[in-house]
């Protein structure tokens, strides 16, 4: 009997050992085969720490290599919650909340995470960093990153755009060329001991590739001149918004582009969407009488009118279909030249009648209305130009004088530049070249001639007519002493609720100077100026100030460069 009991116990113990052996063997197989990758990765995380190395975002310069956007080094704060005691966490929460202007709940949630690395706040100011360092709280540390900095804050805001906290482009050129500007991240893998202290031994290292640098066509000084004049005009005439664009008519280079309202690039994300709108490129409007340059160019090019031809302007009232067309001032007989000098709607309607719908549409398309210009900026619109098949009974009078057609300020300045450039339409551009940190050019943008919209002979005749607008007609406030100036005024009723308003207007002036050798082509647009609202009254003086000051600056700059040589 005792022998049988002893044998049963031995068998039971042996069976238990077999079961235990099978269990541990299965667990070992599970760990070694099925969970190997996971556990190895966990061990790797515990004994090494990978730090992303941020690239330096490329600098954006003006044409004279003055920085408009650059990166500056800043410190970012992080914590190591698993290396902190509860007392250290409490101290960190109490001290950091006020300095960083964040809630205690936010800090507590971060520090309660079972991690070895959590961001607390990135890209701090120097006073914030110095204050936090003075506390000497264990578990808090800094990583040096970089922050986008705009030295002129508001200057060329709509052109440059801005980058966010992670140095990612969010608006303007910063967004459009983000792939070139942002660079590529690198990394550094640091070994740690059992206490999670860094051993300052790098296991792997890949350096970041910094972003490329951009050199723009923009001239910082001309940009400032343009913005200053536009700001004064908006305040003086209580304009809702405004745009100015300055272009080199011979190359298509944009020398300045500004809008009002504007915003501080250092606080770009906080600015209202309306303030960030690049109106010169993404907003369309009915241009009014400045569009008459298309009719003038077409009539001269097609030899359907000459400067001395006479047109009866019906003493200010002319019936077109069921509509009465009016001039702001009644006129009797005007020559072709005087029709445009005095901006007679009736005279232009009669000239357009000689052309017919097909030719008016054809020349508007030649000047690239109804299509985008191809400027390298996001969101450009092409406006609306209806084909003749969609014209109404009044379109033949409305479109030639800038109604029933929508344009951008950019399209207008390009069309003006084409006239100034002897009929050659140049593609507008804002980037001259892209280079790396060794000054090697990565990509270069050359002037591109799109087409010849009118012959040099026609352009010469049209220049003389537009010069007369400034010297004898509605554009007298654009005159610059000692210089020949050509231009065209425009005052357009805004469409409000589907009808033309009698109290809200767009005031526009476009022109170029000097007439003999044009250096600058400019368009100025003010939205809802009051009480005065005529293009010749509110927009022409802005043109005068900008062109006069810019040409003086350019002359001084050239003289200075020649002297250095």
Domain ranges of the chain: 57-190+210-216, 220-263+277-564
Residue 565 has pLDDT above 90, yes or no: no
- Compute CA distances 503 → 290, 452, 530, whole Å: 20, 39, 9
Confidence band of 314 (pLDDT split at 50, 70, 90): very high
pLDDT value for 17 = 75
Give me the architecture of the 57-190+210-216 domain, per CATH.
Alpha-Beta Complex (3.90)
What does the longest C-alpha to C-alpha distance in the chain come to?
142
Instruction: Find the mean pLDDT for residues 499-528.
Output: 97
Give the C-alpha separation, 331 to 535, whole Å. 20
Residue 201 has pLDDT above 60, yes or no: no
Alpha helices in 238-344 (DSSP H): 273-276, 279-282, 292-301, 336-341
Confidence band of 51 (pLDDT split at 50, 70, 90): low
Q: Is the pTM of this model over 0.75?
A: yes
Q: Enter the tokens of residue 199.
A: 């051993």
Residue 129 has pLDDT above 70, yes or no: yes
pLDDT value for 252 = 98
- Compute CA distances 61 → 132, 150, 209, whole Å: 35, 11, 20
Q: Enter the tokens of residue 58.
A: 């490329």
pLDDT value for 301 = 98
Range of lowest pLDDT (55-59, 220-224, 262-266, 304-308): 55-59
pLDDT value for 464 = 98
Partnered with residue 52 across adjacent β-strands are 187
- Compute CA distances 316 → 212, 325, 341, 373, 392, whole Å: 59, 8, 15, 36, 23
Among candidate residues 289, 343, 344, 395, the one labeled active-site is 289
Instruction: Find the mean pLDDT for residues 231-241.
Output: 98
Q: Which fold has domain 220-263+277-564?
A: Beta-lactamase (3.40.710)
* Higher per-residue confidence, 26 vs 304: 304
pLDDT value for 200 = 44
Q: Enter the tokens of residue 456.
A: 């040099």
Q: Is 289 a catalytic residue?
A: yes
Phi, psi of 158 (to 5 degrees): -75, -20
Partnered with residue 26 across adjacent β-strands are none
Helix (H, G, I), strand (E, B) or coil at 321: coil
Phi, psi of 527 (to 5 degrees): -100, 120
Residue 1 has pLDDT above 70, yes or no: no
Residue 315 has pLDDT above 50, yes or no: yes
Instruction: Find the mean pLDDT for residues 507-534.
Output: 97
10 Å Cβ neighbour count for 354? 15
10 Å Cβ neighbour count for 13? 10
pLDDT value for 472 = 96
pLDDT value for 150 = 96
Residue 503 has pLDDT above 60, yes or no: yes
The mean predicted confidence, pLDDT, of the chain is: 90
- Count of CA atoms in the C-beta half-sphere (13 A) of 196: 12
Q: Strands 213-216, 60-61: parallel, antiparallel or unpaired by DSSP?
A: parallel
pLDDT value for 202 = 46
pLDDT value for 40 = 55
Percent of the chain with pLDDT over 90: 73
- Compute CA distances 238 → 152, 259, 355, 527, whole Å: 25, 14, 39, 9
Confidence band of 2 (pLDDT split at 50, 70, 90): low
Confidence band of 454 (pLDDT split at 50, 70, 90): very high
């Amino acid at each position: 009997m005792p022998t049988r009991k002893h044998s049963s116990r031995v068998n039971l113990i042996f069976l238990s050992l077999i079961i235990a052996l099978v269990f541990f063997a299965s667990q070992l197989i599970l760990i070694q085969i099925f969970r190997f990758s996971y556990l190895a990765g966990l061990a790797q995380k515990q004994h090494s720490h990978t730090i992303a190395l941020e690239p330096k975002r490329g600098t954006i310069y003006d044409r004279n290599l003055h920085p408009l956007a650059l990166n500056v080094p800043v410190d970012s704060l992080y914590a190591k919650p698993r290396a902190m005691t509860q007392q250290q966490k409490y101290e960190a929460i109490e001290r950091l909340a006020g300095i960083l202007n964040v809630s205690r709940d936010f800090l507590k949630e971060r520090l309660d995470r079972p991690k070895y690395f959590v961001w607390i706040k990135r890209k701090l100011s120097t006073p914030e960093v110095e204050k936090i360092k003075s506390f000497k709280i264990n578990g808090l540390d800094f990583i040096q990153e970089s922050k986008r900095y705009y030295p002129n804050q508001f200057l060329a805001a709509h052109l440059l755009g801005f980058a966010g906290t992670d140095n990612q482009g969010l608006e303007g050129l910063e967004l459009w060329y983000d792939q070139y500007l942002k660079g590529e991240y690198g990394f550094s893998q640091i070994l740690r001991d059992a206490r999670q202290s860094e051993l300052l031994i790098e296991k792997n290292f890949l350096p970041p590739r910094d972003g490329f640098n951009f050199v723009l066509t923009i001239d910082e000084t001309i940009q400032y001149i343009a913005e200053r004049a536009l700001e004064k005009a908006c305040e003086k005439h209580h304009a809702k918004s405004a745009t100015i664009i300055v272009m080199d008519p011979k190359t298509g280079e944009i020398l300045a582009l500004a809008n009002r309202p504007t915003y501080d690039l250092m606080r770009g994300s906080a600015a209202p969407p309306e303030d960030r709108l690049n109106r010169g490129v993404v907003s369309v409007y009915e241009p009014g009488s400045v569009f008459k340059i298309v009719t003038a160019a077409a009539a001269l090019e097609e030899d359907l009118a000459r400067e001395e031809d006479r047109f009866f302007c019906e003493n200010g009232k002319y019936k077109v279909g069921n509509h009465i067309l009016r001039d702001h001032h009644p006129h009797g007989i005007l020559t072709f030249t005087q029709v445009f000098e005095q901006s007679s709607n009736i005279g232009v309607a009669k000239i357009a009648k000689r052309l017919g719908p097909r030719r008016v549409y054809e020349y508007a398309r030649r000047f690239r209305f109804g299509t985008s210009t191809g400027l390298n900026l996001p969101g450009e619109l092409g406006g609306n130009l209806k084909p003749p098949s969609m014209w109404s009974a009044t379109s033949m009078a409305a479109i030639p004088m800038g109604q029933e057609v929508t344009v951008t300020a950019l399209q207008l300045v390009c069309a003006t530049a084409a006239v100034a450039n002897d009929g050659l339409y140049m593609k507008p551009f804002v980037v001259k070249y892209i280079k790396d940190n060794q000054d090697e050019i990565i990509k270069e943008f050359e002037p591109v001639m799109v087409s010849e919209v009118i012959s040099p002979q026609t352009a010469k005749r049209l220049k003389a007519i537009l010069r007369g607008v400034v010297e004898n007609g509605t554009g007298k406030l654009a005159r610059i002493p000692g210089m020949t100036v050509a231009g065209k005024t425009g005052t357009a009723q805004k469409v409000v609720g589907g009808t033309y308003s009698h109290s809200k207007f767009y005031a526009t002036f476009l022109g170029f100077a000097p007439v003999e050798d044009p250096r600058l082509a400019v368009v100025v647009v003010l939205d809802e100026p009051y009480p005065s609202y005529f293009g010749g009254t509110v927009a022409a003086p802005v043109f005068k100030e900008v062109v006069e000051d810019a040409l003086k600056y350019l002359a001084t700059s050239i003289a200075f460069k020649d002297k250095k040589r």
